[in-house]
């Protein structure tokens, strides 16, 4: 007897429906074709043991399984459940009438229990697009899939529950998640707050500008000056995720297997902070079977690189293209996958090896040329892609002991959200453009041209600081954001002046 069940394969953050054809006929042996990897091939032993352990019998006949389309590689152990159900249906131990209605995925243990799988959200989205009635998956993944509206999601704990459901509709119940309520309930402010930061008003201003326009920012200062403390509070002033952004972010984390067990929608902007020993593949994604890297896991959120010069040069250089294109393409000999990577880069570093170059009280003990050499670990093209370079000066003792707290994150966030709303309205007709940091040269000409005095000021700064054409664009983007924070229609000379000061730490001013 020939039976078809339906599963799904994930490539990048998109899913593809896989038709699993199971034929049980006279003969002997077990055959599996259709480009399965070793984990799929090994499923025979798991499936056979689980079937026998749950009161069914393994067909003593010839079993042929075809996984179509045959040109898509099938990876992992998530096909255990559809394969087992196909064998049971083809050997007439369970009815096959309802199998065509569902996408079925799940890894099985030897006792028939179902274990969580990766990529459930893109699988559920694809199932809805192709008109399937529902999806049957492990219970631990059910809430994650249930955020897709218009699709029936059934979570099961073991093989027997799925069999009972296919026989008479019992055994498992539909899992329902109110996406709007879930989004509202979990979209709360961070526990970290800028009110805990004493002093550093100029740095807070720069961070506010970065958050308002989605700009990359580099904090440079001595050890203990508060760089990490303020960087970790950046997420508390960013605008809340929209439902569309939350869904896209959850898809990436689902593919990477980073969604918490029993979790559903990710409603907080990601904050990723990899250690400086990270490899280039771990940062951008890849591997023999590519998985999202840290830059994709930070999509719609923050990527914080502490002690930037300590990262390997090759690791930093692979970020050049993603910082510009906001996507990363990972190519292998037979396929290419694309992952989104629209993140804010927040980096921090010491000004020199000893950490005290330019310190108001402590003397730098680095030998001549050490500052230049230290800064040389960061290439000019990468530094050009960072919009704001901010010097962080240590807070004096008197300021630290003051009782009044600084401005709260909630107050700063209100101004950031107001500026983002201006940008959303400005770019509402443009696909893929949501904030000033994403502006193209054409949009800069239209929306960020300074007045006459501002143009003269910018020309003088370009010549004096030796800035590149890319730095010129970055200054205009930052100036546009400063104007948006002040609800100004035009970019004025004062906005250009403030934007220029955030480039004052460019390469050729160091160590002089």
Q: What is the CA 237 to chain-centroid distance, rounded?
A: 18
Tokens of 178: 């109110």
Average of per-residue pLDDT across 10-17: 91
Quick: pLDDT tens for 47-80: 999 999 999 999 989 999 999 998 888 888 999 9
Longest dimension (CA), the chain: 88
The candidate with the shortest Cα–Cα distance to 274, out of 293, 246, 290, 249, is 293
Residue 352 CA to residue 506 CA, distance in Å, equals 14
pLDDT at 373: 85
Chain centre distance of CA 342: 8
The tokens of 300 are what?
Answer: 């719609």
Given a cut of 90, is residue 296 above it in pLDDT?
Answer: yes
Q: Comparing 122-136, 149-163, 284-298, which segment has the lowest mean pLDDT?
A: 284-298
Averaged over 489-504, what is the pLDDT?
89
501 pLDDT above the threshold of 50: yes
User: By the 8 A CB rule, do 252 and 13 touch?
Assistant: yes
* 194-210 average pLDDT score: 90
Three-class secondary structure of residue 228 per DSSP: helix
pLDDT at 33 (0 to 100): 93
DSSP letter assigned to residue 8: E
* CA-CA-CA-CA torsion sign (277, 10, 299, 414): negative
CB proximity list for 419: less than 8 A, separation 6 or greater: 212, 213, 481, 484, 485
Per-residue model confidence (pLDDT) at position 95: 92
pLDDT at 191: 76
The values of phi and psi at residue 17, to 5°, are -75, 135
How far apart are alpha carbons 496 and 457 in whole angstroms?
8
pLDDT over 50 (residue 315): yes
Residue 404 has pLDDT above 80, yes or no: no
Confidence of residue 374 (pLDDT cuts 50, 70, 90): confident
At 244, the pLDDT band (50, 70, 90 cuts) reads confident
Q: What is the mean pLDDT of residues 376-403?
A: 81
Sign, CA torsion 107/159/150/9: positive
The pLDDT-based confidence of 400 (bands split at 50, 70, 90) is low
Selection from 421, 424, 411, 385 nearest residue 506 by Cα: 385
pLDDT, position 68: 94
pLDDT at 186: 60
3-class secondary-structure state, position 270: coil
Question: With bands split at pLDDT 50, 70 and 90, how would you rate the model's confidence at 463?
Answer: confident
C-alpha distances (whole Å) from 171 to each of 99, 146, 158, 330, 401 are 16, 18, 10, 42, 63
The model's pLDDT over 434-451, given as tens digits with 9 standing for 90+, comes to 899 999 889 999 999 898
Residue 200 is predicted with a pLDDT of 84
**For range 353-357, the mean pLDDT:** 87
Kindly write down the DSSP assignment for every residue of 400-462, as one continuous string.
HT--S----HHHHHHHHHHHHHHHHHHTTTSTT--SGGG--HHHHHHH--B-HHHHHHHHHHH
- DSSP letters for 32-82: EESSB-HHHHTHHHHHHHHHHHTT----SSEEEEEEESTTSPB-SSTTHHH
The DSSP element (H or E) to which 388 belongs, if any, is strand 388-392
> Is 320 within 8 Å of 385 (Cβ atoms)?
yes
Per-residue model confidence (pLDDT) at position 364: 86
Dist CA 16 CA 74 (whole Å) = 10
- Percent of the chain at pLDDT above 70? 95
The whole-number pLDDT of residue 85 equals: 96
Percent of the chain whose predicted confidence (pLDDT) is above 90: 59
Q: Specify the pLDDT at position 507.
A: 47
The stretch 324-352 carries a mean pLDDT of 89
Average pLDDT, the chain: 89
Instruction: Give the pLDDT confidence score for residue 348 in this predicted structure.
Output: 94
- Cβ atoms of residues 228 and 306 within 8 Å: yes
Beta bridge partners of 158: 113
DSSP string, 128-194: HHTT-SEEEEEHHHHHHHTTSTT-EEEEESBHHHHHHHHHHS-S--B----HHHHHHHH----S--G
pLDDT for the residue numbered 189: 60
DSSP state of 499: H
- Model confidence, pTM: 0.88
Is 234 within 8 Å of 211 (Cβ atoms)? Answer: yes
**Lowest mean pLDDT across 81-90, 118-127, 222-231:** 222-231
- Do the Cβ atoms of 171 and 204 come closer than 8 Å? no
């Amino acid at each position: 007897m020939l039976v078809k069940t339906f599963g799904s394969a994930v490539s990048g953050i998109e899913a593809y429906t896989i038709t699993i054809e199971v034929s049980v006929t006279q003969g002997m042996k077990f055959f599996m074709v259709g480009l399965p990897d070793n984990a799929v091939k090994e499923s025979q032993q798991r499936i056979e043991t689980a079937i026998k352990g749950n009161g069914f019998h393994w067909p003593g006949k010839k079993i042929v399984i075809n996984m179509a389309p045959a040109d898509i590689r099938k990876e992992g152990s998530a096909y255990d459940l559809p394969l087992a159900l196909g064998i049971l249906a083809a050997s007439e131990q369970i009815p096959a009438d309802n199998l065509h209605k569902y996408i079925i995925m799940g890894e099985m243990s030897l006792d028939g229990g179902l274990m969580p799988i990766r990529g459930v959200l893109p699988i559920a989205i694809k199932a809805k697009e192709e008109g399937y009635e529902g999806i049957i998956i492990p219970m631990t993944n059910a809430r994650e899939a249930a955020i897709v509206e218009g699709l029936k999601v059934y979570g099961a704990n073991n093989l027997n529950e799925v069999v009972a459901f296919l026989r008479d509709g019992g055994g498992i119940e539909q899992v329902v998640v109110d996406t709007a309520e879930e989004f509202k309930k979990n979209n709360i402010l961070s526990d970290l707050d800028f009110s805990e930061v004493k002093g550093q008003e100029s740095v807070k201003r720069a961070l506010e500008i970065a958050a308002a326009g989605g700009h990359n920012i580099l904090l440079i200062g001595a050890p203990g000056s508060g760089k990490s403390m303020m960087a970790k509070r950046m997420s508390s002033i960013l605008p809340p995720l929209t439902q569309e952004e939350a869904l896209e972010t959850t898809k990436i984390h689902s593919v990477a297997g980073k969604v918490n067990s029993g979790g559903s929608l990710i409603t907080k902007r990601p904050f990723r902070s990899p250690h400086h020993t990270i490899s280039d593949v771990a940062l951008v994604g890849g591997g023999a079977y590519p998985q999202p890297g840290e830059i994709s896991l930070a999509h719609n959120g923050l990527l914080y690189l502490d002690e930037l010069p300590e990262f390997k040069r090759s690791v930093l250089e692979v970020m050049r293209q993603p910082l510009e294109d906001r996507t990363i393409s990972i190519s292998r000999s037979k396929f290419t996958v694309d992952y989104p990577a629209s993140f804010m880069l927040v980096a921090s570093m010491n000004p020199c090896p000893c950490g005290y170059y330019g310190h108001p009280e402590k003397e730098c003990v680095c030998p001549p040329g050490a500052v230049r050499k230290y800064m040389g670990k960061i290439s000019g093209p990468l530094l050009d892609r960072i919009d704001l370079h901010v010097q962080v000066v240590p807070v004096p003792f008197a300021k630290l002991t003051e009782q009044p707290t600084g401005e709260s994150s909630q107050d700063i966030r209100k101004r950031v959200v107001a500026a983002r709303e201006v940008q959303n309205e400005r770019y509402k007709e443009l696909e893929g453009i949501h904030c000033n940091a994403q502006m193209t040269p054409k949009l800069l000409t239209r929306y960020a041209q300074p007045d006459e005095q501002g143009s003269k000021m910018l020309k003088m700064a370009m010549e004096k600081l030796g800035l590149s054409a890319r730095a010129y664009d970055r200054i205009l983007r930052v100036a546009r954001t400063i104007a948006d924070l002040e609800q100004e229609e035009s970019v004025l000379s004062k906005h250009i002046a403030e934007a220029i000061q955030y480039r004052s730490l460019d390469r050729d001013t160091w160590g002089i």
